[in-house]
Amino acid sequence: MKKYIIVWEPDSQKGSPVNNALLKILNEKQLAEKMEIIRSPFIGFTSSGAILRVMPDNLIYTGFRVEDLEGIVNATLAGDRVDKFISSYDNKFLPVEEKDPLSRQFKIVLRNVGYLDPESIEEYISRGGYKALEKALFELGRDGVIAEMKASGLRGRGGAGFPTGLKWELTKKEAGEIKYAICNADEGDPGAYMDRAVLEGDPHSVVEGMIIGGFAVGCTQGFVYIRAEYPLAIERLEKALKDAREMGLLGKDILGSGFDFDIELRWGAGAFVCGEETALIASIEGKRGNPRPRPPFPSVSGLWEKPTFINNVETWANVPVIIEKGGKWMGSIGTEKSKGTKVFAVTGKVKNPGLVEVPMGTTIREIVYDICGGIKDNKNFKAVQTGGPSGGVIAEKYLDMPVDYESLQSIGSIMGSGGLIVMDEDDCMVDVNKFYLQFSVDESCGKCMPCRIGGKQILEILEKISKGNGEMTDIDKIYSISNAMQKASLCALGQTTPNPVLSSLRYFEDEYLAHIKDKKCYTGKCKDLVQYTVIPEKCIGCGLCATRCPVKCITGEKRKPYLIDTKACIKCGECYNVCKFDAVKRG
């Protein structure tokens, strides 16, 4: 069989020496029939040197020199390998039999996403879909399903990480004929989109999970509360429900088992607070999405005052796998207290943004650098933010900390829904937190006072600091308002609103102090605290900045240092960005 060598070379390696050398060897040896060289812009992880991937042998080579290539080509042709350069990627959180040394990712939730046609139930079934449902109905029974769920150690993927099996058990125990299962698909965290990907790419996994959950708990009706902003997800999910009904997998007498269960869609309407379970329930009931005090918890009195259990999309998509492979199998993946995998939506200033699914316990460094290629444009890492407006920042010193529910909490962040936003040296903590606070203030439902007023007050303080009017007492004020909000807010939205500010104060206090004491924003994001000036020694007088300046406030003669009129400057930063000689100073 023909061999394929896939070549990846880092951008810094100019002129593709490895690729050219390989092509030369191929030419000299006249191997075009037996081997093909393919250049690839992405090979799944990065290294400082070139990477080769040999197919179909599925070997990875790193750390070789151009002189070594001939040996690798010869070995490949002979069906052999050059052990010296075989890369030894090791993934310590996977059970042995599943281990693939070539990857840090492990796909459970995204198992079908991107591989199958989401509008074809036939394809889903052909890949083993609805096998778990059959097993649940005819082998495990209701208690068996709950036992497997508990054994798996699966915890809610929507934020707080409550054990899913326990939640099901609690709802099952409640008396009453009518109970409801709800799927929270109102993915509100700005910067997370794994739920959309699952619903658009593999809707049946969620449907199957819900039927199993409904069976175990004893419901006949389920609801999917879905963001109206995701029309394609709605369309595909509706198609999935219709197909499942037609095949007897949903509706009356599922698979002839006598169990009835159906699912309806209810649309959200753009309210972040509706991710909170009591607010979500109010919204499905057709009301304003105001949260209410708990207890009673939804497992006792939820939708239309009936026992209700809510899981989010990612949690539901895990269910069929747990049932099919067994809770013990799932329990073997991940860390001690956090089992299974987590999908992260890695975005922001990262080279290869995207969705990654990794076993719990993977480090941020592995996610950001090994899988996503590191920071864009070779800038410096500053922090990552997890948990969106309810989460916090993770500073550089925690890059190697294994990520799970507990570890994130211990450093002041949360797992949240899995948005992972990478920030580089150009991002200002005060500015970013203004964004998060503005978000939480807009989304506060206004029902309870600490959230309604507290958030607004912290936002105003941040605005004051970013304008250069901050005082040292402002920091204390932030702490005391935050304290009140955490203790006295009705729901998680208000309780977590101060999190981003508090965690950034914990790790980047010096940046706040620079804004307050020195009246400087070194990233240039707080426009009132930045000045652009030309460094005369460095300026060669090319005039590029002057032509690019939108307000024409840069003047000078060719080949002599230029001058920025700081009064007319609108601080757009264009001159700083275009100067090839680092002759524009920001600060």
Partner 1 sequence: MDKMKKGDLSKFRKEYKKLSGSEIVISMGTCGIAAGGDRVYKIIEKDLNDNGIKNVIIKKTGCLGLCFCEPNIIVRMEGMPEVLYGNVDEKTAHMIISEHVIKKNIVNNYVIFMPTNDIGKNIFKDQGR
Partner 2 sequence: MMMLEKQEVTLEKGLLDFMEKWKDKPGKEIMILHKIQEVYGYVPRKVAMEVSRVMGIPLAKIYGIITFYHLFKLQKPGKNQISVCMGTACYLKGGNDIIQEIEDLIGVAVNTTSEDGHFSLEVVRCVGCCGLAPVMSINGKVYGNVQKSELPKILGEYSGKEANANG
List binders of partner 1 among 175-194 (CB under 8 A). 193
Comparing CB distances to partner 2, the nearer of 334 and 419 is: 419
Cα(489)–Cα(508) distance, integer angstroms = 26
| Nearest partner of 476 among 448, 452, 508, 509, judged by Cα | 509
**Piece of 98-106, 378-386, 414-422, 424-432 that binds partner 1 (CB under 8 A):** 98-106
Q: Is 102 in the site for partner 1 (CB under 8 A)?
A: yes
Query: 288 contacts which partner out of partner 2, partner 1, none, CB within 5 to 8 A by kind?
Result: partner 2
Cα(276)–Cα(253) distance, integer angstroms = 33
Query: 36 contacts which partner out of partner 1, partner 2, none, CB within 5 to 8 A by kind?
Result: partner 1
Cα(559)–Cα(577) distance, integer angstroms = 20
| Nearest partner of 483 among 470, 500, 502, 465, judged by Cα | 502
Comparing CB distances to partner 1, the nearer of 129 and 455 is: 129
Residues in 36-65 at the binding interface with partner 1, rule: CB under 8 A: 36, 38-45, 53, 55-56, 58
Cα(430)–Cα(511) distance, integer angstroms = 8
DSSP for 263-315, written as a single string: EEEEE--S-GGGGSHHHHHHHHTTS------SSSPTTTS-GGGS-EEEEEHHH
Phi, psi of 482 (to 5 degrees): -60, -45
Q: Is 114 in the site for partner 1 (CB under 8 A)?
A: yes
Query: 321 contacts which partner out of partner 2, partner 1, none, CB within 5 to 8 A by kind?
Result: partner 1
Q: Is 80 in the site for partner 1 (CB under 8 A)?
A: no
Query: 114 contacts which partner out of partner 2, partner 1, none, CB within 5 to 8 A by kind?
Result: partner 1
Comparing CB distances to partner 2, the nearer of 228 and 568 is: 228
Query: 55 contacts which partner out of partner 2, partner 1, none, CB within 5 to 8 A by kind?
Result: partner 1
- Parallel, antiparallel, or unpaired: how do β-strands 3-8 and 563-564 relate? unpaired
Judged by DSSP in three states, 390 sits in helix
Q: Is 342 in the site for partner 1 (CB under 8 A)?
A: no
Comparing CB distances to partner 1, the nearer of 101 and 556 is: 101
| Nearest partner of 398 among 364, 429, 427, 426, judged by Cα | 364
Kindly provide the b/e burial profile for residues 426-448, where b requires at least 16 CB atoms within 10 angstroms of the residue's own CB. Answer: bbbbbbbbbebbbbbbebbbebb
Comparing CB distances to partner 2, the nearer of 65 and 287 is: 287
Specify the DSSP class assigned to residue 386: E
Measured from the CB of residue 370, what is the shortest distance to partner 2 in angstroms? 18
Judged by DSSP in three states, 411 sits in coil
Cα(177)–Cα(530) distance, integer angstroms = 65
Cα(36)–Cα(53) distance, integer angstroms = 12
Q: Is 115 in the site for partner 1 (CB under 8 A)?
A: yes
Residues engaged in binding partner 2 (CB under 8 A): 187-193, 196, 228-231, 266-272, 283-289, 304, 345, 347-349, 353-355, 385, 388, 419, 421, 423, 427, 432, 435-436, 439, 445
Query: 565 contacts which partner out of partner 1, partner 2, none, CB within 5 to 8 A by kind?
Result: none
Q: Is 108 in the site for partner 1 (CB under 8 A)?
A: yes
Q: Is 197 in the site for partner 1 (CB under 8 A)?
A: yes
Number of residues that bind partner 1 (CB under 8 A): 76
Q: Is 560 in the site for partner 1 (CB under 8 A)?
A: no
Comparing CB distances to partner 2, the nearer of 125 and 578 is: 578
Query: 381 contacts which partner out of partner 2, partner 1, none, CB within 5 to 8 A by kind?
Result: none
Comparing CB distances to partner 2, the nearer of 191 and 412 is: 191
Comparing CB distances to partner 2, the nearer of 133 and 343 is: 343
Query: 283 contacts which partner out of partner 2, partner 1, none, CB within 5 to 8 A by kind?
Result: partner 2
Cα(406)–Cα(428) distance, integer angstroms = 27
Q: Is 103 in the site for partner 1 (CB under 8 A)?
A: yes
Q: Is 321 in the site for partner 1 (CB under 8 A)?
A: yes
Query: 42 contacts which partner out of partner 1, partner 2, none, CB within 5 to 8 A by kind?
Result: partner 1
Q: Is 257 in the site for partner 1 (CB under 8 A)?
A: yes
- Encode 169-215 in three state secondary structure: HHHHHCCCCCCEEEEEECCCCCCCCHHHHHHHHCHHHHHHHHHHHHH
Measured from the CB of residue 461, what is the shortest distance to partner 2 in angstroms? 20
- Parallel, antiparallel, or unpaired: how do β-strands 563-564 and 554-555 relate? antiparallel
Q: Is 15 in the site for partner 1 (CB under 8 A)?
A: no
Cα(539)–Cα(562) distance, integer angstroms = 7
Q: Is 256 in the site for partner 1 (CB under 8 A)?
A: yes
501 CB contacts (<8 Å, ≥6 apart)?
Answer: 433, 436, 437, 458, 462, 478, 482
Cβ atoms of residues 326 and 207 within 8 Å: no
261 CB contacts (<8 Å, ≥6 apart)?
Answer: 210, 211, 214, 215, 219, 220, 221, 222, 250, 251, 254
Measured from the CB of residue 330, what is the shortest distance to partner 1 in angstroms? 11
Measured from the CB of residue 228, what is the shortest distance to partner 1 in angstroms? 13
Measured from the CB of residue 111, what is the shortest distance to partner 1 in angstroms? 4
Comparing CB distances to partner 2, the nearer of 340 and 387 is: 387
Comparing CB distances to partner 1, the nearer of 32 and 269 is: 32
Cβ atoms of residues 104 and 370 within 8 Å: yes
Q: Is 27 in the site for partner 1 (CB under 8 A)?
A: no
Measured from the CB of residue 275, what is the shortest distance to partner 2 in angstroms? 12
Cα(219)–Cα(227) distance, integer angstroms = 24
Q: How far is CA 455 from CA 189, 279, 304, 439, 469, in A?
A: 17, 19, 31, 10, 19
